[in-house]
Structure 1
Amino acid sequence: MDSNQSKGSDIARMIWIVGSPLIFAVGVFGNIVTMIILSRKRNKPSSTTVFLSAKAFADLFVILFMLPRWWLVYLVGFDVRHIHNIVCKLQFFGNYFNGSYGSFLLAAVTIERALCTAKPYMVKNICTANIAVIISIALALTSCVIHGHMLIGMKLYEVTYNETAGTISFPLDSNERSTNTSAFIFDQYFDTANSTTEEWTDDLFAKIESNEEFTSINKIKVCWYDDPEYGQYFSEIHQTLSVTTFMFIPLIIFLVCGIVIIKGLRKSSKLQKSMRNKYTQISSKQSAFDDRASQITFTLLLVNGLFVVMALPALIFLIGRSAWVDEETGMTETQEIVWALVNMLIYLKHAINFILYFLSGNRFRRQVLELFGYKKNSSVERSKGAHANQLISVSSNYDLSLQK
């Protein structure tokens, strides 16, 4: 959606102006700290750390380069997409790329956790850091293939906008009218015009030339498509593909892998109970292992659950937009408020993973506190750490690189 499409509801404007800096601060801080913690030498490189580091980087990119755009639009009326044609293309592409890439990475780490649970003795061969790097690069290339066409199809150009009539016309050069069909797209994009016929456009230019019914005509910049064939592909095929890769495929993976993880942990719990009866000397260590395995499961399910909860409202709004948003008048103030809120949820999704890791992961929380100068060195803590290391080498090959 281009910034020229916004109507300027006061409440929606305040949501963007106040909410954006808060999410920006939390997201930048959290994702940077997450990458620092995961890249520490004490955290042995693993498939989990690779996926989560890539996810933190993708989230940071969204917070740094996507969120500030709308904050500036509503605060000072400036759209970064209007700086240059290259910025228009890259910002448009980056928005879609990071949406699908972040979902792919979360799905990948979910599959990895399911494999670690279902096939714990195959983890060393399947879930390695090198394989995770290859998968992360492959997912990035896949996202580029899906959304790369926007680097060609989207462009920055000027149109004429009549403030009094609320209508959009072709670029001012009337010689381009025979080949340039951008006005056919703007009628649905700006929610201002209702007709898309050649007679409508000829009539519009006639009124412009005679200044009839047009008292305030301005040039405005638009970052959008002007090829109707590409516009049809973007509006129908690409949008469907984006929704599928951003929500539906990850959702199916979350559900299937969640069932696998829960079943695997139940089976592992039964096995560990029998081990306690035979090897009572590691009973306390096994309990510690159970707690840490539960932490991993809880964190992963929490992240996946919040992903669905935060992304679903925006998905529902976009799917049903044609049904409840009037094409002639555009969004009402209430709909603008709803649109602002669902967007805040989308951006918040990229900012709060650090909080989830911190609250549910003992080891992650301990390293964060140490990073900021708080250390709790005691013989008890060192003993617990030593026992946990022994347990990992004896009882299982679970990857606990994030939350030991």
Structure 2
Amino acid sequence: MKDNATSPESYPEYHFAIYLWKYCSPIMIALGTVGNIFCIVTLLRKNLRQQTTVIYLVALSLNDLLVLYSGLLRHWIIKSFDVDVRLLSELSCKLHLWVVYMSLDTSGWILVAVTIERVALVWFPHASKARCNRTVAACILGVLIGSTMLINSHLIYGIGDVTNIENNETVVKHCYYESDSYKRFFIDIWPWIDLAKFNAIPFLLILIGNVIIITSVVKNHQKLRRTVVPQGTRKRMKKVNSMTATLIVLNTAFLLSTTPISVYLAFYEEWSENASHHTIARLTLSWAVVNLLMYSNNTLNFLLYCVSGGNFRKEIRHLCKRYPAAHTEATRATTLVQIQHISTHAMPTVD
């Protein structure tokens, strides 16, 4: 079919993509902000913070906030106000690219770390309980974050403001490849490295871990039915199973939300080569969809916790009951002080 349109903007797919960016992004940022802050507050309550897994989940919520405000917010500002934070200065270009790639990678590897911890607890329950503590969790998080910062550090020196002489004129390209060799690396090689570290390797590790965890949980349930287990042990196992269910749901959501954008980035150069205007419009829409799907993982973790975690829901109920009660007590105390104040000043004095 012949492409008679003069530009991709002539097609409805392009305008629908802009619509998605402009109107879905602020809603997702607002929901993600409230949800992740509420997650952190709930996870740090006394009954939950004793579990080392909570250290990882709190770090995940903080990282989700960083992803939303470094990545999704930029897209919304571009589409709504035609301002790109990467073009404000060379420093903002380098730092923003680095932070976005680093924070996106960190999300997946935090889930890998907590999955491996749960596998260790399932396979070696007694030995793992002694070794899986807050200090170890903090050290693992430090290594993960340091590694993602290091592996993406080439963006800091590989991309920036480049000055060229074209037709006897000085042309400055902002946030561009510093050299032709780096351009070839970024276009031909980097997408596959990014696919491996962002999605493929975490996908494989999480999938294997989930299979091991689910198999072990099923065996434990069968064992519980056949034997008489003390009430205290049963409660502890319920708590572990609740956290395990939450982890499996988070892992599944991560895999489903990040795979499409990884595939898109890996094959974009092939799809866009000699593409018609209509194809580019479709790719623009696809880019918006896969991005919003990816950011939905950072937005909706709170709902996933609520759906999958019985202990999490229980803590939310306690939290909701606590604040109205505190508000009622404060109101009563204020009213009592006011009554005492009125009574004191209203009583007649005897001269």
Secondary structure of the structure 2 residue equivalent to 1:332: helix
2:33 is equivalent to residue 23 of structure 1: no
2:316 is equivalent to residue 364 of structure 1: no
Contact 1:37 1:368 in 2 (8 A): yes
Comparing 221-230 with 113-122, greater Cα deviation is found at: 221-230
* Alignment of structure 1 residues 5-404 onto 2, 5 Å: 9-157=14-162, 171=164, 173-174=165-166, 205=167, 222-276=174-228, 282=230, 291-327=238-274, 332-373=280-321
Secondary structure of the structure 1 residue equivalent to 2:174: strand
Quick one: distance in 1 between partners of 2:68 and 2:78? 16
| C-alpha displacement of 1:374 | 5.7
Which one-letter code corresponds to 2:106 in the other structure?
A: Y
**How far does the alpha carbon of each residue in 1:196-218 deviate from its partner, in whole angstroms, 9 at most, with x for none?**
xxxxxxxxx38xx8xxxxxxxx9
What is the TM-score with the length of structure 2 in the denominator?
0.81
* Deviant stretches of 4+, over 3 Å: 40-46, 218-221, 285-294, 326-331, 369-377
Quick one: distance in 2 between partners of 1:225 and 1:325? 19
Contact 1:314 1:346 in 2 (8 A): yes
Contact 2:195 2:266 in 1 (8 A): no
Comparing 147-156 with 314-323, greater Cα deviation is found at: 314-323
Quick one: distance in 2 between partners of 1:75 and 1:219? 27
**1:229–1:140 Cα change, 3 Å:** same
**1:156–1:29 Cα change, 3 Å:** farther
| C-alpha displacement of 1:291 | 4.6
Unaligned runs of 5+ in 1: 1-5, 159-170, 175-204, 210-217, 378-404
**How far does the alpha carbon of each residue in 1:242-281 deviate from its partner, in whole angstroms, 9 at most, with x for none?**
11011111111112111211222233234333431xx5xx
**1:264–1:65 Cα change, 3 Å:** same
**How far does the alpha carbon of each residue in 1:106-149 deviate from its partner, in whole angstroms, 9 at most, with x for none?**
11111111111222212222311111100000011111111011
**1:36–1:333 Cα change, 3 Å:** same
Which one-letter code corresponds to 1:271 in the other structure?
A: K
Which one-letter code corresponds to 2:253 in the other structure?
A: L
**1:78–1:122 Cα change, 3 Å:** same
Corresponding residue for residue 190 of structure 1: none
Higher helix residue share: 2
Secondary structure of the structure 2 residue equivalent to 1:224: strand
Secondary structure of the structure 1 residue equivalent to 2:227: helix
**1:348–1:44 Cα change, 3 Å:** closer
Which one-letter code corresponds to 2:315 in the other structure?
A: Q
Unaligned runs of 5+ in 2: 1-6, 326-351
Quick one: distance in 2 between partners of 1:297 and 1:40? 18
| C-alpha displacement of 1:290 | 5.4
RMSD (CA atoms): 2.7
Secondary structure of the structure 2 residue equivalent to 1:156: strand
Number of residue pairs the alignment of both structures matches: 314
| C-alpha displacement of 1:36 | 1.9
**1:10–1:250 Cα change, 3 Å:** same
Secondary structure of the structure 2 residue equivalent to 1:337: helix
Which one-letter code corresponds to 2:291 in the other structure?
A: N
Quick one: distance in 1 between partners of 2:54 and 2:47? 12
